[in-house]
Amino acid sequence: MTNRIYESGAERSRDTDSMAYDLISPIGLERLAKTCRTGEQKYSAYNWEKGMPIRDFLNHAISHVYTYLSGDRSEDHLAHAAWNLFGAIHSEEHWSTLNSEEENKLREVLKDPHTHTVPYQEGFSPNGFYKDNKVQGTPV
């Protein structure tokens, strides 16, 4: 790969040509950064980098999306969902051993979902929208 040469004569590698950091929304990035600060204050900086399975990140992301859809604006649920998706991506890249156990459990459930029961998790259902595994009303 040849370097990029500017009119000024400056030269730069093309190693970022396959990425578009300049297209990431500064608004979204700022809200994500605020969510990082909130997490740091609540759990300590880099607590999440000790290792968490993808399933946990996805569970929290989905919960924040449903909470947002139910009309709750008590916190920035979209930014929290985005943070958890970024965490899931990080987890996928760095903690394959941690995730392989979780993936194996999920594969077993997906093979025959009728032979496995997934317990109702109170924390997963935002604002009581789902109760006793039945939809209660319509999300906003």
Per-residue pLDDT tens digits for 80-127: 999 999 999 999 888 877 777 767 676 776 676 565 554 444 444 444
Query: 3-class DSSP state for residue 5?
Result: strand
| pTM (global) more than 0.85 | no
Q: What is the pLDDT of residues 60-77, one digit of tens each?
A: 999 999 999 999 999 999
| pLDDT number for residue 1 | 75
- Report whether 1 contacts 14 (CB < 8 A): yes
Q: How far apart are CA 126 and CA 67, in angstroms?
A: 5
